[in-house]
Structures are given as C-alpha cells and as structure tokens.
Amino acid sequence: MNLYIVRHGQTEANVKRLIQGHKDFPLTELGISQSISTGKLLKGTSFDKIFCSDLNRTRATLQHIGYASASYEKRLRERDFGPWSGKPWSEYIEASEEVNSGIFKHNLPGVECNEDLRTRLEDFLNDLLFAYEKGSKSILVVSHKGPIRALVCLLLDHSTLTHNVQSTDVPIVYNSVSHFRLKICDNLVQNCQVVKLFDCSHLE
C-alpha cells in the first residue's frame, strides 16, 4: 500500500494563533494557493480511496487539491480542545504549565488527551489495513497536525527510521505531504518504508 498523508492548508486561526480543535475557520489565500500546489504534486497519482477529516478546513483543502469527494471521517478530526477552542494558544499553554509545574501537557479539563487521540487514530489505521490489505493500493488521507503526528508515530513503529517523531521538533507544515510504502500481512504492518516525511518542497 502507498499511503499519502496531507495536512490541511493554513487557516485564519493559524495566522492569529488561535486553537481550532473541532471549531472551524476558513482557509487563508496562502492556504488555498498552497493546497493548489499540493494538488499539482499529487496530480500524477491515482488514488484508490481518499479519506478526509469531516471538518470544513480539510474539506476545503481537499477541494483545492483537486478532489471533489472522499470518505469523511470523524476519527481524522483534530484533537478536541473543548472549551479552549477558539482561544489563544498562549493562554492555553500558560494554563497547562500552571497545573503541570511548568510542563506543557494536553491534560486540561475537557481536552482530549494524547492516549484518546492515539486510540482513535489507531482504530482508523486498523480499519484501513483490514480493508486494503490485498493488492497495491494508493490511499490519500487529509487531516490535521495532531492526528497526523499520531498516525505517523504508529507507522514508524514498523519502520527502520531511527528518530522518534513524537519526541522531536519536526514541524508538520500546512499542506506538507508524507508518503509511506506499507507491506501488510494479516491486517498488520510488516514493514514501513518512509518515502517522504512532512515534505513541503512543493510549496517553495
């Protein structure tokens, strides 16, 4: 299986440094133009199946990439930030560090924790492996920073890559593209070849 993972385009909330979570904000002009550039990069790839978060910013990204429809997945949504959605990141980080002795964690009341985020993405990945185990399929996933990081960490458990993406500062740029070649047996990843990881060279 060839699995392509794309982050949504830049939104107005990204520019203002506001938390989005399940709250939606429109793409900026840059977000639209970079999504179009991503479409040019992927134009030569024929996808057997496309999965997209059901939030509007990912739907808009997919449209500007050049695809009119997909299977829209709630499990591909961004982390649920609950009451913090729409509020400044600076306030959220300050509140988190205040209750965690100066350490930033996603464990404030009403916020989806890392474990729950990973569980729903693992559930999505397992369903994907079960459905597309046989044959050489090309799959496109359009999602958000948090879910993408969780998915990539799950995939890298089966790769020979030496660094741990979850514990590094590797940026997941808007409209960045990751590409993995997966060998699947008995609905499990036997091998994961990393072709591209958070690549944004097509945006330059």
Among this protein's residues, is 97 annotated catalytic? no
Q: Which of 73, 78, 112, 144 is catalytic?
A: 78
Q: Which residues, 6+ apart, have CB-to-CB distance to 59 below 8 Å?
A: 52, 53, 72
Among this protein's residues, is 78 annotated catalytic? yes
Catalytically active residues, by annotation: 8, 78
